Amino acid sequence: MIPRGEHGISRKQFSPNAIKVLYRLKDGGYDAYLVGGCIRDILLGQQPKDFDVVTNATPDQVKKLFRNCRLIGRRFRLAHIVFGREIIEVATMRGHHEAQEDKNQISQSSNEGQLLRDNVFGSIEEDAERRDFSINALYYSINDFSIHDYANGLAAIKAKQIELIGDPETRYREDPVRMLRAVRFATKLDMSIAPNSEKPITALASLLDNIPPARLFEEVLKLFLNGKAEANFLMLRQYGLFKSLFPELDKILDKNPSSLETAFIQQMFQNTDKRINADKKVTPAFVFAALLWFPLLERTKKIQNQEQLSEYDAFAQAMNKVLSDNSQHIAVPKRFTLGARDIWHIQHRLDKRAGQRAYRLTQQPRFKAAYDFLLLRVDAGETQHNELAQWWTQYLSQDINGQKEMVKNLGHQGGPKPRKRPRRRNTKKPTE
């Protein structure tokens, strides 16, 4: 236990709503602590994004104390206390599965050791042992403002190491997503994964295939939209974890690590990191359009050769197939797959610029993303599209008259020649 005078954390650094939740639970006769990432981040000098609370009150008891509470989750029941846009997550202290005397407490594991149900409650000491990493087993007490460190989390922070609590293989089997979290924390906090925690990852990477695709979508967003996308991508590839997320792309990248495909993906992640770190928006549709682009091209060629279809028809079929196959691994919501489709479709229309086509194309909602996608392709090494990218860059910098002049100078270069209308036959009978 580290007393208030030795850790330097002040209540002013916490969300006022989190403090309200702590005191309401305390006044209700329960123990309550701030736990995990918020404590860790403050100790590292970072601003926490979320404030999580742990208590010995059950989810139903928490709900009785808060009118603005909703219970969520099946694998492990949680209480969300809603304050406008901010949500304070309240979890009941978890216990060990061996002691299940209460029939209302349920745990269930798969044959691979993965926890399917985890509603077993216990003491704060047991809860600390059930946490994933030592840096996340830090508890802030509202009673005396001390920090309780049950797993040498402060030492791990000082050593800059991500270390699992307990036997690494067992803990990864309980929840394979912990392997992704280890990578994310290592890059986010500028730490390394401890040797014992690192050792089993490659051998157990395939366990991610058992994780629901909807959950993996959320994890992918955390990995690739947090400002450390390139570092996460490289580490995922290093440990063989990327294969379970994007198997077709992983196979393509394995063929030639220094290929245009690898350069394209890395450049995309570099650009994504720059935008996020500059507080600019990045749509998941663009990221997924890039990650599935080369599997899409490969599938298009395959369908073309097998079914003797035109490139356009094969491309349309390939889009459906690639997105369908990807959904077996990562459940991307329809609003993002539709965005990816638009970005892909516009790639085939960017060279059709004659007449009103260029102007109409710029009015498409996804045009800017599709234009950025073209620039990404050129930056990665598709030099055959360099002239087209320069034309669009200049076109977008012109006023309306300049744009018309550019299109006029194209002649028929930017589109098909207009077809001549056939003469209409005079079908009227001559009058007598």
Residues labelled catalytic: 50, 52, 132
Could you give the CA distance from residue 28 to residue 121 in angstroms, rounded to a whole number?
19
Residue keyed to tokens 């610029």? 353
CB-based burial label for 410 (10 Å; 0-12, 13-18, 19+) = middle
CB-based burial label for 349 (10 Å; 0-12, 13-18, 19+) = middle
Residues facing 92 on adjacent strands: 55
The amino acid occupying position 234 is L
Backbone angles phi, psi at 356, to 5 degrees: -95, 5
Could you give the CA distance from residue 370 to residue 347 in angstroms, rounded to a whole number?
7
Residue keyed to tokens 């997924």? 288
Residue 230 CB contacts under 8 Å (≥ 6 apart), including other chains: 266, 269, 270, 272, 273
209 in Cβ contact with 247 (< 8 Å): no
